[in-house]
Amino acid sequence: MLHVDDLPRIADRGLLGSFGRTTAERLAMQREVANADAPLVRGRILHLPLILPATPDACHEVLVTQARSFEKSPGLRVLLHDLAGQGLFTSEGELWRRQRKLMAPIFTPAALSRFAEAMQQTAERAADRMSPGQSIDLAHETTRIAMTVVGNALFGTDTFDEADALGAALTTALGWVNGALTSPTIVPHIFVLDLTRKLADHSPGPVRRALERIRGTFESPILVPGSRSKALRAAMAVVETRIHELIAERRRDGVEHHDLLSRLLHARDADEGGAMTDAQVRDEVVTLFVAGHETTATSLAWCFYLLSRHPEVRARVVAEADALGDGPITRFDPERLALTTRVFREALRLYPPVMMFPRRTLEPIELCGTALPARSLVFVSAWAQHRRADVWRDPDRFDPDRFLPEVEAARPKGSYLPFSAGPRFCIGMHFAMMEGPIVLATLLRRFHFELDDSREIVEDDFATLRPRGGVPAIVRAR
Ligand code: HEM
């Protein structure tokens, strides 16, 4: 059996190791993973070895077959602690299992179908605000639309975007998490967290309690005094007040609502019959709000960029949108938006909004013939899988027909991962796969968006893989 030290190494890129400090460095790291022949390669973050599964099989093992031997990397949990608390994205173990079971029925295609019309109406309202000749940033527009869509789905209100205090506060908090994600201080932070946990487990009563108190402070991010921390605290105060008001109002009013908040409040465990506490509902609401808009908005922005670079595909997508007629989309029919859906999926391949899934082993395991000790960092890269030349012919080329059913059927498991895979795959996948094509078709039916084709747009990886500098466009009448 191989050991971590036997694995092929990828390039070192300074203090943070192979991880890199900039988006370009992180993409270069993933390109190396995409080009690797071995199932696993080895990098480094600060002093820690970083295992990078390179082949689809290796990713499938981590995410699906051996999923029980992994937890999400604790760094993410710490950074999202104040915002998403113990919500579905960050929780682990029994709590996560219970919550996933409670929430799964809310996110089936059938349960979500009633949101199709609201998705279209939100995009129509955004188009109503546009006029020919106007300069817009499509990344900003799609963020507004996606925020309104998820706000509407959660709370049943139409006016929800970043102009709303809650939307603005969540945007500020997410911006803070973005900034902290690539900070090297998170590694020593996790080291202290683990160390205090380990010491507490082996210490007598009073020492244990003291260590647990210290550990408690390290469960959340350490805020360095300054304007960013002040802005974060102010934003979090707004989030707490507004979300608790929304939950309390809903509990009081007794009227039947059909939004996700009501469904969360009424969800019952089939075996134990238990409902969620208000604190848990708060964490889930914030999680869904954050996870549910930035990702979809980013993919939509990339779609517009890709379509502008490929006018022949754009013409076919516009024809598909026109064929829908003027009426409301009351039920999402993927057949009628087949090409638009393939474009959305191809954008998710080239620019996966969540490009890496950081994991840590819970116990010693064997992965693809290599012995990994407990607490090994294993980062699955969707980006690398999506750029493998042995899976995707000419992988950097935009080609929506890669997602024709017969082509797709021939691809190995673990090769297409925009929504991850296994037990922790994205619960909002059907929501996003409905929203993306509906919003794209609705906007393209109304306007032509003219981009400056001499300007290449590059990636910027914060929490999601955004187009750097947005997607500036001029609105043209059709
Ligand atoms: C194009 C849009 C989207 C993309 C690319 C995306 C991607 C992902 C990925 C990759 C994960 C797993 C991360 C990991 O395993 O480390 C995830 C999890 C999650 N996503 Fe999404 N997502 C999208 C839209 C949504 C939407 C619309 C919602 C909710 C309305 C949502 C809610 C969640 C939640 C709650 C989780 C955690 C699930 C769990 O751990 O059980 N996402 N998403």
Is ligand 1 within 6 A of the CB of residue 428?
yes
- Give the nearest ligand 1 atom to 146 CA: 27
Q: Let me know: does 92 contact 219? Beta carbons within 8 Å.
A: no
Tell me the C-alpha to C-alpha distance, in Å, between residue 402 and each of 41, 255, 339: 27, 47, 11
For domain 103-185+222-353+418-447, give the CATH number. 1.10.630.10
Is ligand 1 within 6 A of the CB of residue 418?
yes
Is ligand 1 within 6 A of the CB of residue 292?
yes
Can you list the pairs that 177-185 forms with residues at least 24 positions away whose Cβ atoms lie under 8 Å? 177/79, 177/80, 177/83, 177/463, 178/462, 178/463, 179/228, 179/462, 180/79, 180/221, 181/76, 181/79, 181/462, 181/463, 182/21, 182/461, 184/15, 184/16, 184/46, 185/222
Most informative mutation of 295, 417, 430 for ligand 1 (most atoms within 8 A of CB): 295
Between strands 377-381 and 48-53, the pairing is parallel
Cα(7) to ligand 1 centroid in Å equals 31
- Domain spans in the chain, listed from the N-terminal domain onward: 1-84+355-416, 103-185+222-353+418-447, 186-218
Per residue, the 3-state secondary structure of the chain, as one string, reads CEEHHHCCECCCCCCCHHHCCCHHHHHHHHHHHHCCCCCEEEEEECCEEEEEECCHHHHHHHHHHCHHHEEECHHHHHHCHHHHCCCCCCCCHHHHHHHHHHHHHHHCHHHHHHHHHHHHHHHHHHHHCCCCCCEEEHHHHHHHHHHHHHHHHHHCCCCCCCCCHHHHHHHHHHHHHHHHHCCCCHHHHHHHHHHHHHHHHCCCHHHHHHHHHHHHHHCCCCCCCCHHHHHHHHHHHHHHHHHHHHHHHHHHHCCCCCCHHHHHHHCCCCCCCCCCCHHHHHHHHHHHHHHCCHHHHHHHHHHHHHHHHCHHHHHHHHHHHHCCCCCCCCCCCCCCCHHHHHHHHHHHHHCCCCCEEEEEECCCEEECCEEECCCCEEEEEHHHHHCCCCCCCCCCCCCHHHHCHHHHHCCCCCCCCCCCCHHHCCCCHHHHHHHHHHHHHHHHHHEEEEECCCCCCCEEECCCEEECCCCEEEEEEC
If we measure between CA atoms, which residue out of 324, 299, 318 comes closest to residue 447? 318
Between strands 2-3 and 135-137, the pairing is unpaired
Tokens of 359: 């994991």
Nearest residue (CA) to ligand 1, atom 23 = 295
If we measure between CA atoms, which residue out of 383, 313, 381 comes closest to residue 348? 383
- Give the nearest ligand 1 atom to 63 CA: 15
- Give the nearest ligand 1 atom to 153 CA: 30
Is ligand 1 within 6 A of the CB of residue 288?
yes
- Give the nearest ligand 1 atom to 89 CA: 37
CATH of 1-84+355-416, one of 3.30.43.20, 3.20.10.10, 3.90.199.10, 3.40.640.10: 3.30.43.20
Tell me the C-alpha to C-alpha distance, in Å, between residue 27 and each of 72, 175, 211: 21, 21, 39
**pLDDT tens readout for residues 457-473:** 999 987 789 999 999 99
Cα(204) to ligand 1 centroid in Å equals 41
Give the CA angle between residues 475, 119, 315 to the nearest 5°.
45
Is ligand 1 within 6 A of the CB of residue 422?
no
pLDDT of residue 364: 97
If we measure between CA atoms, which residue out of 59, 138, 58 comes closest to residue 419? 59
- Give the nearest ligand 1 atom to 425 CA: 12
Per residue, the 3-state secondary structure of 46-65, as one string, reads CCEEEEEECCHHHHHHHHHH
Most informative mutation of 68, 426, 427 for ligand 1 (most atoms within 8 A of CB): 426
- Those residues whose C-beta lies under 8 Å from the C-beta of residue 340, and which sit 6 or more positions away, are 317, 320, 321, 437, 440, 441
Is ligand 1 within 6 A of the CB of residue 353?
yes
Q: Is the dihedral of CA 386, 387, 393, 396 positive or negative?
A: positive
Is ligand 1 within 6 A of the CB of residue 306?
no
Cα(108) to ligand 1 centroid in Å equals 14
Is ligand 1 within 6 A of the CB of residue 385?
no
- Give the nearest ligand 1 atom to 299 CA: 1
Is ligand 1 within 6 A of the CB of residue 89?
yes
Say how far apart CA 42 and CA 40 lie, in whole Å: 7
pLDDT of residue 221: 65
- Give the nearest ligand 1 atom to 357 CA: 16
Nearest residue (CA) to ligand 1, atom 37 = 89
Tokens of 183: 């900070």
Per-residue pLDDT of the chain (478 residues; tens, 9 = 90+): 999 999 999 999 887 888 888 889 999 999 999 999 999 999 998 888 999 999 999 999 999 999 999 999 887 787 788 888 899 999 999 999 999 999 999 999 999 998 999 999 999 999 999 999 999 999 999 999 999 999 999 988 766 665 678 888 888 888 877 777 666 666 666 666 677 677 777 777 877 777 677 766 666 666 666 777 788 888 889 988 988 988 998 888 878 788 999 989 988 877 766 889 999 999 999 999 989 999 999 999 999 999 999 999 999 999 999 998 888 887 778 889 999 999 999 999 999 999 999 999 999 999 999 999 999 999 999 999 999 999 999 999 999 999 999 999 999 999 999 999 999 999 999 999 999 999 999 999 999 999 988 889 999 987 789 999 999 999 999 8
- Give the nearest ligand 1 atom to 423 CA: 41
